[in-house]
Amino acid sequence: MNLKFIKTDLILGVRSWLRSKGTVFWTILFPVLLIMIFGAIFSDAGNIEYDLVVQDLDNSEFSEDFVGILRNISVLNIIEIDSDEDITEYMLDEDKSVALQIPEDFSETLQSYFVDTNASVNLMFYVDPSEQTTTGVIKSIVSSVLYEYNMGFTQGKTVVGLDEEKTFGEDFTYIDFFVPGMIGFTIMTSMIYGSIERNTKYRKDGILRKLLTMPVTRVEWIFSKMLFMLFLSFISTFVIMLVGIIAWGLNIQINIFFFIIIICTSFMFSGLGMIIGRFVKEEETADMAGGAITFPMMFLAGTFFPLDQMPDFLQSVAQVLPLYYVNEGLRNAMIHADLDKTLFFTGFVVAFAFIFFIAGVFLTKWKED
């Protein structure tokens, strides 16, 4: 083994790495960002509190005792609502993923059990299929409580059971809620990486400088590139949807807001990529710079798991991230069909697109610094 060669090559590699300040910067920053993000999300995992909406239609001593048991569970935050409220509308309006409804015959069934041992009653467990992790945790807690309750009441026989109902109908599954977030994430990564790499490569190869001699304006050149990136956005979006429909029976709605959000998302993240690309000098650091932007948004903007699993301050951070509004806008347009929320989130996406794209155009220079 030629140890001299290995030593020399190692020293040359380290020196080459140190000469590229951008590479050093992003190499150090990227793992720091990852540990900060995941540490902030999961370091407080033991203190997470889950909201459980409870509607007591029985209003008896038996039902109040049962709600009291739930209230004594430290990880549950019990939110009681009036019996005349529409429980599914409340969940949608207040953005709650899980609710438990105690039926009117709860106490009557329990009392009749001493006469008829076949008597039984089921609580209604309402869930938002898009929040599978949260609903799974709460359901396991409620199921454990029911098991202990039945054990104490009948020494093992199930008198009080649990029926589950999805808040947006049986035709929807988790994949229906996951796909809109995946569409937003895919467009974000392809637009940001594409813009950064293109601008960095063109600057390094002198192509941007040569464009000064052509009878074309900077805006025209950028707009033509944007139309190509928009074409790629729709291609990737429809591929995701087509595979989802064929493989998983995807059930979504396509409307005008869907197209508006896709177009604006493409312009928005292309503009953001141009802004980042303005400050990335080496082609080798382009991927790291793009990752430093896309990774935090990917994990903090509610693409893969619900925001209520994160600490409050990270939920606040998520609400200033562009991808959060893209994800929520697409979900409300394609899944929930909630016009008010769709308009709200679409408005933010349009505003972000305008700001980032205009800034990207002004910061993109053909002259060398």
Local structure of 25: helix, strand or coil: helix
Nearest to 346 by CA among 366, 329, 364: 329
pTM equals: 0.67
126-140, 166-180, 236-250, 341-355: least confident range = 166-180
Most confident listed range (25-29, 56-60, 279-283, 293-297): 56-60
Residue 133 pLDDT > 70, yes or no?
no
Q: What three-state secondary structure class fits 55?
A: strand
**In this predicted model, what pLDDT tens digit does every residue of 88-97 receive, in sequence order?**
888 877 778 8
The whole-number pLDDT of residue 362 equals 81
Between 116 and 32, whose confidence is greater?
116
Per-residue burial over 307-331, b if 16 or more Cβ lie within 10 Å, else e, is: bbbbbeebbebbeebbbbbbbbbbb
Closest C-alpha to 289, from 200, 185, 187: 200
Q: Indicate the domain borders of the chain.
A: 46-166, 174-363
Give phi and psi for 101, each to the nearest 5: -115, 125
pLDDT of 226 strictly over 70:
yes
In this prediction, residue 325 has a pLDDT band, given cuts at 50, 70 and 90, of very high
Give me the CATH topology for the region 46-166: abc type-2 transporter like fold (3.40.1710)
pLDDT above 80 (res 236)? yes
Q: If residue 239 lies in a helix (H) or strand (E), which one and from where to where?
A: helix 218-248
* Residue tagged 């009749």 (tokens): 112
Average pLDDT over residues 206-227: 69
